[in-house]
Structure 1
Amino acid sequence: MLEFVPITAVVPAAVEALLDRAFGRNRHSKTAYRLREGVGAIAHLSFAAVEGGELIGTIQCWPVEIAGDDGETAPMVMVGPVAVDPERQRAGLGKQLMHRALDAAHASGEDRAIMLVGDPEYYERFFGFTAERTARWRLPGPVEPRRLLARGSAVPAIAGMLGPRVTVAA
């Protein structure tokens, strides 16, 4: 039976092994990984799909922000990676994981500014992500501008650098 559980309920090494199978061992060199360096995933927005005790999919969400050239900063949630075991891909599990994360973001009020790097034809069609407000964003590495997508009423259409959102404890 397929179950969705908080990603914190899964052994981190199992998550890493799944990510390696889904994206390859060189995945850490991707720009998206630089956007989340030094921060942990947002636990209440990150999930695992488990079936028969086996991890078959994950989705993680991360705290990021854009530091605008005008001095403005805007917090956002970055979705990804969405990983599905290669033997289970193309069966809708990634879509289920996305809905779970987006529903959780909506329930917690964190859906006003969500971004990801991904296929615009897929993420716009099924989830409403577009590149309409991301044209002037810069990232700490290469990215195809058409793949830099966002959704939500508070997505900033400003020029600036996107990076991890590190919160400082008082």
Structure 2
Amino acid sequence: VSASLLGGFVLVSPGESVRASKIPGGEGFSFLLAIPEIQVPPKKTGHARSVVPRQVSLADYIANSSSLAKLILGIVTNNPKLAGEGMIDRIVEPARERAGLIPLYSEVKNNALKAGAYGVVVSGAGPSILILADREIHGELGNMLTEIYAKRGYKATIVSATPAPGARVIIG
């Protein structure tokens, strides 16, 4: 909801009172969203959170912290390559993939990166996958993703998107 209201990229800090802060930058970033048509469990987000480990290794924690720094710096400096390097998660995504919540995630990710995408992440609780890539390769990537899902018996909708400006008040 925060990104819809504020537009662009938003950092949400949980706590007693949730804070949402708009991150400046990311101009010109473009994404593909792969939305597989699968049956999702009831209370999907709660279920997705339940498979995440409660304790992680120091190495994984440091790697994820480094990824977050790269992602934010890439957005602020309008550097999609650096932002893509920050789209690596060693904790949440592997746990959700092992639990079967994100079908074909590794295959989609590996193939998208080989085809020139900057970064690939799970969108929210999944099963949708968000891919940061130059707009010029969206068509090629979209066709490839559709084929990957189809070969495994899934249908998927592929959507091209850019960060939106956010909500505006219209008086009239």
Taking structure 1 as the reference length, the TM-score comes to: 0.31
Q: Which has the higher contact order (CA 8 A, sep 6+)?
A: 2
After TM superposition, the score normalised by the length of structure 2 is: 0.31
The structure number with the bigger radius of gyration is 2
Structure with greater strand percent: 1
More helix by share: 2
